[in-house]
């Protein structure tokens, strides 16, 4: 139940958030009041938000495709644009399919796929122990969550058996991290942001490993940016895959979709 705040106290909270640079101060104030158990908790949460911590880490969850996804402090916060990655993956995922989610973070992508396609067999992996712990909470037994770098922890039995491999790998060029908003730069792990000199280092690695895991005709989907889509697509084409790029203006999302050729093609 929302913490009841007198109008003057709510106005003061909104002003405090707006002064800290929160663009949607009214909405954030309402959410903080809804999540706080008492005035002392509200003050602690407000102080964290004013100091620049992401709202989702402060309240402990993020909304993603209608799901409430737990987000622990220091874990990458799911972005709305990543809904495009889920949408495109659902478009090529069989009713009973096998999915690998690399750089899974909180597990939001895998959770959405397993929820919207209940027959999904899911493996997720991340190299950050905090993210893996968070993803295990979110998936709640609906998939295996493994700790390790990219595909290193995947069981060998999956080789050549994966229908869809999804990756929201970091794609911010190293030099641009310093110019990101403080809530990302200072409160999300650098490994979840840093994509190397041109932002495509991890995409190249994922494109190179994908053919080992995908079944013939299986798909690799990588979230990227408009600026980097060409380089991401080229990395996939270099591995012999058939590639197209999808962009959604409303979500401000871009996804490279690559299909492993089957024997006939």
Scan for tokens 């101060």, then name that residue.
25
What integer pLDDT is reported at residue 188 of this predicted model?
Answer: 87
For range 63-82, the mean pLDDT: 95
Element (H, E) at 207: helix 201-213
Question: Tens digits of per-residue pLDDT, 19-60?
Answer: 999 999 999 999 999 999 999 999 999 999 999 999 999 999
The string of pLDDT tens digits covering residues 92-102 is 999 999 999 99
> Is it the case that residue 103 has pLDDT exceeding 90?
yes
Per-residue pLDDT, 186: 87
* Contact predicate 219/203, CB 8 Å: no
* Residue in the block written with tokens 């405090």: 16
% of the chain beyond a pLDDT of 70:
98
pLDDT of residue 183: 83
And the tokens for 144? Answer: 């295996």
Q: How many CB atoms lie under 10 A from the CB of residue 38?
A: 9
- Answer yes or no: are the C-beta atoms of 224 and 256 closer than 8 Å: yes
HSE-up of residue 170 (Cα within 13 Å, Cβ side): 25
Q: Which 8-state DSSP code applies to residue 177? A: G
* Residue 264 pLDDT greater than 80, yes or no: no
Instruction: Return the pLDDT at 3.
Output: 73
Between CA 262 and CA 185 the distance in angstroms is 42
Buried b / exposed e over 74-105, threshold 16 CB at 10 Å, is ebbbbbebbbbbbbbbeeebeeebbbbbbbbb
Q: Is 17 helix (H, G, I), strand (E, B) or coil?
A: helix
Mean pLDDT, to the nearest integer, of 175-202?
A: 91
Question: Which pLDDT belongs to residue 265?
Answer: 53
User: Whose CA is closest to 165, among 127, 131, 195, 123?
Assistant: 123
Lowest-confidence range among 2-16, 20-34, 106-120, 153-167?
Answer: 2-16
């Amino acid at each position: 139940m929302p913490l009841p705040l007198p109008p003057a106290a709510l106005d003061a909270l909104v002003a405090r958030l707006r002064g800290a640079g929160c663009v949607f101060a009214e909405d954030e104030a309402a959410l903080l009041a809804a999540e706080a158990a008492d005035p002392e908790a509200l003050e602690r949460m407000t102080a964290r938000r004013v100091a620049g911590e992401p709202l989702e880490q402060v309240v402990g969850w993020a909304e993603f495709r209608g799901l409430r996804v737990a987000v622990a402090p220091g874990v990458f916060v799911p972005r709305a644009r990543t809904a495009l990655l889920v949408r495109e993956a659902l478009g090529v995922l069989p009713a009973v399919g096998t999915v690998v989610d690399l750089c899974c973070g909180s597990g939001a992508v895998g959770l959405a796929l397993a929820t919207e396609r209940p027959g999904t067999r899911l493996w997720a992996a991340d190299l950050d122990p905090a993210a893996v712990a968070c993803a295990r909470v979110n998936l709640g037994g609906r998939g295996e969550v493994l700790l390790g770098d990219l595909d290193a922890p995947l069981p060998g039995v999956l080789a050549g058996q994966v229908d869809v491999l999804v990756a929201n790998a970091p794609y911010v060029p190293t030099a641009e991290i310093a110019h990101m908003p403080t809530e990302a730069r200072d409160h999300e792990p650098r490994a979840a942001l840093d994509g190397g000199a041109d932002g495509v280092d991890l995409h190249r690695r994922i494109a190179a490993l994908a053919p080992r895991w995908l079944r013939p005709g299986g798909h690799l989907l990588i979230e990227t940016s408009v600026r980097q889509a060409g380089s991401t697509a080229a990395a996939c084409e270099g591995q012999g895959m058939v590639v197209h790029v999808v962009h959604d203006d409303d979500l401000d999302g871009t996804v490279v979709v690559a299909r492993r050729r089957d024997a006939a093609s």
